[in-house]
Amino acid sequence: MDNKIITELDYYDGSDLLAEGDFRISPSGMSRFFSATSKWYREGFLGEKNFESNTATVLGTIVHYIAEQYAKEQMLSEHAREQIELYIKKYCSIQSADYNIEVDKQILLTQYKLMAEELINSYVATHIPDESEKFMLHDFGDGVQIGGSCDAYHNSGVIGDYKTTSAKTAPTRISYPYKVQLLTYAWLFRKRGMPANTIRLIFVTRSDIGRVSEKTGKPLKQYPSEVTIVEEVITSEDWEFIEGVIDIMHHSVLTWQNHPELRHLLAQDNRLEEGKQ
């Protein structure tokens, strides 16, 4: 990856809004606090990174960016096209030959236009959000903050998130990680006195057409890019659940910061016990 290239598609983490030493809990990674506890702590506090990007994440970022641009401008400007080209170059530069193993330029160039066009035509054009890619940050006032960018918010109280998938057909339910993420956005909007009553995932699949059987030479089933909407009404149990999750994470972060002797217990990682590092 060519780190010298800066584009509008680069992830914004709100670090410029944090005071030195503050810690931000990211909604997109909150479920990993429970499912991959050690990694969550080691990446968040020790700076360890086991993953950066691959074809799927780069493709997803481009499709998200196009949806955002259309929501704001009802078009894709020449400037936006240039930003996309720079972003692809960033991850597929000649200087990044080893990294390129993870990022397939041909898939990016083939898929992003088809997927973005389907997402816009089948959803965004008729569901223009009132807020697009809104970054929200809640400060607990003790060096811990929680926040991130929400793809789409409607004043009716619908919180939407675009998801790209390589699956032939999209999921029909909201998974636990996505539900935690969306409910956290809903919690952040509610903290601002804004309605929040529905969470919605908008899946867009990759296009997989023109396939031919190697054995018979006959055409196989075609899978054009498709949009699927999955949504849930937020219940009182959901609010109780997400408030509990946020409270546990908030106080766990404070415990990590204030009690180093307990870090190995918090992270469920004996390597972090004092005296073993």
Q: Worst-scoring range by mean pLDDT, 18-22, 32-36, 159-163? A: 18-22
pLDDT digits (tens, 9 = 90+) for 243-276: 999 999 999 999 999 999 999 999 999 999 876 6
Label residue 212 by pLDDT band (50, 70, 90).
low
Average pLDDT over residues 233-240: 98
pLDDT at 209: 72
- Cα–Cα dist 242/181, whole Å: 9
Q: How many CB atoms lie within 10 A of CB 135?
A: 13
- Cα–Cα dist 152/129, whole Å: 5
pLDDT digits (tens, 9 = 90+) for 215-229: 776 666 778 899 999
Q: What Rg do the C-alpha atoms of the chain give, in angstroms?
A: 20
pLDDT digits (tens, 9 = 90+) for 52-92: 678 999 999 999 999 999 999 888 999 999 999 999 988 88
DSSP track, the chain: --TT---TTSPP--GGGSPTT-EEE-GGGTTHHHHSHHHHHHHHHH---S----HHHHHHHHHHHHHHHHHHHSS--HHHHHHHHHHHHHHS-GGGTTGGGT--HHHHHHHHHHHHHHHHHHTGGGS--SEEEEEEEEE-SSSEEEEEEEEEEETTTEEEEEEEE-SSS--SS--HHHHHHHHHHHHHHHHTT----EEEEEEEEPPB-S-B-TTT-PBPPPB---EEEEEEEPPHHHHHHHHHHHHHHHHHHHHHHH-GGGHHHHTT-GGGSTT--
DSSP track, 8-52: TTSPP--GGGSPTT-EEE-GGGTTHHHHSHHHHHHHHHH---S--
Please name every residue paired with 137 in a beta bridge, in sequence order, or none if there are none: 147
pLDDT at 208: 83
Residue 235 has pLDDT above 90, yes or no: yes
Residue 210 has pLDDT above 90, yes or no: no
Higher pLDDT pick, 28 / 96: 28
Q: What percent of the chain has pLDDT over 90?
A: 73
- Cα–Cα dist 174/179, whole Å: 6
Most confident of the ranges 10-19, 149-158, 210-219? 149-158
Q: Worst-scoring range by mean pLDDT, 7-11, 111-115, 146-150? A: 7-11
Q: How many CB atoms lie within 10 A of CB 114?
A: 17
